[in-house]
Amino acid sequence: MKCPFCSHPDTQVMETRMAEDGSFTRRRRQCSACAKRFTTYERPDVSFPMVVKKDGRRTEYNRNKLKASLALALRKRPVPASALDTAIEHLEEQLLAAGCREVSSSRIGEMVMQELHQLDKVAYIRFASVYRSFEDVDDFQHLVNEVRQ
């Protein structure tokens, strides 16, 4: 593994940990040249379904885009980063378990809303307001009443 700081090709694994659910391996490494430490994650290489957009375009699944959407909804909320990572892992497991070659972006959006509903109600409302393109305050009120029940 090449050092991300100095590009030296020799790094040493200092610590290895498995995720609680066993879906990935976390390794703490140290560069033998500059002595800086960094973390790597080892995941199985799997093929995710293509994402079909509302306009019919097909794009590759992008974990970073999903993470950015969730992080934006959870911004300034008391939710630990580990909970965000767990939510992403859960969403990816659902995508893989479906066994489909294609999945609509609206289906992914609904799955994200389910995760956010369990994680943080305010983040859920934030995401839903953008995802569902709320037009007025009544749309917000309806969703807030739904969350309260």
All structural domains of the chain with their residue ranges: 11-42, 50-148
pTM comes to 0.62
What is the mean pLDDT of the segment spanning 76-86?
Answer: 90
Element holding 102 (H helix, E strand): strand 102-104
Specify the pairing of strand 25-31 against strand 37-42. antiparallel
Instruction: Write out the two tokens for 106.
Output: 């609206």
CA separation (Å) from 132 to 28, 71, 117, 118?
41, 18, 15, 18
pLDDT bucket at 43, cuts 50 / 70 / 90: confident
Q: What is the share, in percent, of the chain residues with pLDDT greater than 90?
A: 53
Residue 125: per-residue pLDDT:
84
